[in-house]
Amino acid sequence: MLIRRLEDQEPFTTRDGSIIRELLNVVHPPIRNQSLAEATLPSGGSTERHYHRHSEEIYFVLDGTGVMEVDGEAAEVEPGDAVAIPPGAWHQIRATGTGSLRFLCCCAPPYTHEDTYFE
């Protein structure tokens, strides 16, 4: 059984500007087809608008509030909200509350820097 603790993962900044702690991906057998990470944006922060040619994503908001934009459609998000982001969809998320916005990112196929495209 593979168990990885969030607090043991080293944070890094992705190409889109979010701070990520990767939990599970293809370098952790038996995972082969997806990845799971926690992302954090400081209050007022946002990711750079981008898309993934191959990966579909699901964002699940844990803490804070924000505005999520997918292909030009924007909506407010809060804890408990899940957002579907299809492959090829331009998207961006912005933290709007007084605290950080924290959310889970699930990608299938797994997230790679090489599959992240900007305007």
| pLDDT tens profile 7-32 | 999 999 988 889 999 999 999 999 99
**Tally of domains within the chain:** 1
Q: What is the pTM of this model?
A: 0.94
CA 58 to chain centre: 7
In a domain, 2, yes or no: no
Would you say residue 119 has pLDDT above 90? no
In a domain, 89, yes or no: yes
Residue 75's domain comprises 13-118
In a domain, 50, yes or no: yes
End-to-end CA distance of the chain: 41
Chain mean pLDDT for the chain: 96
In a domain, 42, yes or no: yes
Report the CATH number that the domain containing residue 105 is assigned in CATH: 2.60.120.10
Average pLDDT of 66-95? 98
